Structure 1
């Protein structure tokens, strides 16, 4: 049987109290020992309760989600410092009313105009890892078709939560808006925005659906010349 000094001490005090109960007298030294032991145990109980409370809060506010390329990402339920690595994501954040939560954007994020006042973390394909770290983000939003894979992996290795979107068509864009709304605690706002955009898409489709489609060349890069092909959002929109 294991010997526990704390338990033995409390048992000794209890026996002493019972022993002196019949004569209605408790020595002052015994009372002092009992009070010290009681205070110590109360302190430990409060300390443990506080630890459990903090742990529960952390668990309830941290959750694992799957991004649009199948990665598991741990995010807080209501991010307060969001870094956007793509113009489209920045516009989505503003549309969801998250302008005060945006900690940083790329140099290409120029809409809405308020985005120009946000701290810049570099280019679309070559953001500064140092600047991102300095902003202390609790959520980084990237896109699979624009941000480099090694950038996402480097941020991930640093322990930063990076959620990657991957919309391939207009339907995918609407889904990405819903996903961003869900992980940023703006689910209702995202649903309203998607419904509004879907109505606009339906109206455009009704207007141009029967018209002859022109042949379009959409140039994305100069050296080398890059255009949008099948299976891309730009091709689907055109």
Structure 2
């Protein structure tokens, strides 16, 4: 009888733990401002809404964002940017050597790069709820991929 009670308690504890952990998971709150086409998955990250502040660590990415009409959302660019239109934009290091402190000070909700960041850098950004999007493929494909950053009713 004692073993039976221990089994029952163990099963109860496991089920309770699973229910508790499931209840603690964070889900996005739907409201009137939510867009119908979000969440979207781009290169293995999920975005629940349009990013408001973006740091681009590549001239090709910055150009693609501009082509999509997202220049007002670019909070920072790569230090070695050759794009004259962004000479006055705050810098955030390079894809190879991102300046994590500068990125954090820019308070982006999304960092986009075409070079994989170190695990340490990704963890530093993720701990501040900053998504990191690493684009793969050719730069000519970036506009098509980044188009997903815009809600269908965005201009």
Answer whether TM exceeds 0.5 for this pair: yes
Structure 2, unaligned runs of 5 or more: 1-27
Which residue, out of 163, 170, 174, partners 2:133? 163
Q: 2:76 aligns with which of 104, 127, 137?
A: 104
Query: Structure 2: how far apart are the matches of 1:177 and 1:160?
Result: 21
Displacement of 1:75: 1.9
The answer to whether the aligner puts 1:137 opposite 2:108 as a matched pair is yes
Q: Per-residue displacement from partner, 1:127-151 (whole Å, max 9, x unpaired)? A: 11111111111221111xx343333
TM-score (norm 2): 0.66
Matches within 5 A, 1:42-57: 55-57=29-31
Q: Structure 1 134/76 Cα, relative in aligned 2: closer, same or farther at 3 Å?
A: farther
Matched, 1:148 2:117: yes
TM-superposed CA distance for 1:104, in Å, is 0.4
Q: Which has the larger radius of gyration?
A: 1
Corresponding residue of 1:126: 97
SS at match of 2:41: strand
Structure-1-length-normalised TM-score: 0.45
- The CA deviation at 1:120 is 0.6
Counterpart residue number, 1:13: none
Paired residues, what number? Answer: 125
For structure 1, the residue ranges without an aligned partner over 5 or more in a row are 1-53, 190-238
Structure 2 CA distance for partners of 1:87 and 1:173, relative to 1, 3 Å: closer
Q: Is the CA contact 2:64–2:142 (under 8 Å) kept in the aligned structure 1?
A: no
Tell me if structure 1 keeps the 8 A contact 2:92–2:98.
yes
